[in-house]
Amino acid sequence: MSNISYITEEGLKKLKAELKQLESVERPSISRQIAEARDKGDLSENAEYDAAKEAQGLLEMKISKMKNILANSRVLDESKIDTSTVQLLNKVKLKNLKNNATMTYTLVPESEANLKEGKISISTPIAKGLLGKKVGEQAEIKVPSGIMTFEVVDISL
């Protein structure tokens, strides 16, 4: 049984572009490396050949995994996302009640998380603690350094 994963339109485009790169650039490059190494003679003691074959196996495994993800992905329709409570694809502005610092995160599928862009995975402790909260509500979230209390300041797309 396969797992269905949810993905944004942007995430789907990135995944397709990466798969195209692997299939149209990386795969032929590794095939050339194998052919060049094979031309050098005795394959039993040819480290270049062994390395290229191993790289090919890893690449094919990655391509297969990406195709599986694509086949089992469902694109989220952002027009149907509710902003009355915190949920996937919401941009959430938080206030840390301990130090009054504010931060904004967008909750995204795990495959699209990127902290530098302010995108956190829906499976992180912070995201899990915020799910279902409304503006003005507080969330006590257990993090590695202890328990933090946040107030939901704003929810948007």
| Predicted structure pTM score | 0.67
Q: Encode pLDDT of 76-98 as tens digits.
A: 877 778 888 998 889 999 999 98
As separate numbers, helices (DSSP H) first and strands (DSSP E) second, the chain gives 4, 7
Looking only at the bridges linking them, the beta strands covering 91-96 and 102-108 are antiparallel
1 falls in which pLDDT band (50, 70, 90)?
A: very low
Q: How far apart are CA 54 and CA 34, in angstroms?
A: 10
Q: Encode pLDDT of 17-43 as tens digits.
A: 999 999 999 999 999 998 888 888 777
The domains located in the chain, with CATH, are 5-75 (1.10.287.180), 78-156 (3.10.50.30)
